[in-house]
Amino acid sequence: MLAYERKQQILDYMRERGRVVTVEQLCAAVFASGATVRRDLRELEESKLIRRTRGGAILVEGSTSEDPLAFRENQNAMKKQIIADMASRHISDGMTLFLDSSSTVFALARTLDRFTNIKVITNGLKTSLLLSEFKNVKVFCTGGTLRENSKSLVGETACGYIDRFNADIAFMSCRGFSIERGVSEASEEEAAVKRRYLANCKKAILLCDLSKMNVDFLCKLAALSDYYEVITERKETNDLCNQYTQLHRPN
């Protein structure tokens, strides 16, 4: 198991078991030695996700917290690339795109150098810096208040800026989604920005790996029916979810 996968398992275990755990419990849960688990806990504490205690650890913010972008970028990297490749088939030269600040959409942004005359409006700081290196992409960055964990720009300034544009497609991810309860976010500020993307695009496409399916976070964002399509790394799941989206909406 890779280190970032093990650390994600530790976080998930703590969220499921009530936030307070011992090193011995974690060793059994992730099949790792005490030394390995203590090193992981030290690094998670440096990321301000947990607080170490004598013989264990406490989750700092609980199940609605957001992991730092750098941590999330390494999670399920191959799956995110599969999703990005499928999503890029919707893009053609000359389009205007909304891109959120998520690590999955960042993977899609890496593919934009193959197109010409693309315009991107984004609230993602890392996304805007990446695309600034692409001569074929004109980048509009929203401005707003910077959120440290996600490296995203939010608030009234960001929302107002998005309202000035129309986009062909909005690509966005989320913290959790399900067929029954729709799409959710950990932050109301992030949810507000994504609602503006939804309101100002011709079609919105949700990009999520399966680790986010059937997971609920604090802030309700939208129903699946508000999206044109859901793209995960698994075709069977896409077919199931898209029975409830605009792509294959039943008559």
Mean pLDDT lowest for which of 32-46, 65-79, 194-208, 221-235?
Answer: 65-79
Judge whether 251 lies within some domain.
Answer: no
**What's the pLDDT band for 63 if we cut at 50, 70, 90?**
very low
Same domain, residue pair 135 and 212 = yes
CA 122 from centroid of its chain's CA atoms: 14
Region 231-243 average pLDDT? 94
pLDDT given for residue 250 in this prediction: 56
Same domain, residue pair 125 and 233 = yes
Same domain, residue pair 214 and 91 = yes
Same domain, residue pair 151 and 177 = yes
Domain that residue 26 falls in: 3-63
Judge whether 250 lies within some domain.
Answer: no
Same domain, residue pair 118 and 51 = no
Judge whether 152 lies within some domain.
Answer: yes
The number of folded domains in the chain is: 2
Is 46 a residue whose pLDDT tops 60?
Answer: yes
Judge whether 249 lies within some domain.
Answer: no
CB 174 within 8 A of CB 197: no
CATH of residue 10 = 1.10.10.10
Same domain, residue pair 203 and 233 = yes
pLDDT given for residue 99 in this prediction: 98
Same domain, residue pair 110 and 42 = no
Q: Which tens digits make up the pLDDT trace of 123-148?
A: 999 999 999 999 999 999 999 999 87
Rg of the chain (C-alpha set): 19
CATH of residue 190 = 3.40.50.1360
User: What φ, ψ does residue 234 adopt, rounded to 5°?
Assistant: -120, 125
Judge whether 115 lies within some domain.
Answer: yes
| Adjacency order of strands within the sheet including 176-178 | 176-178, 182-185, 219-222
Same domain, residue pair 119 and 194 = yes
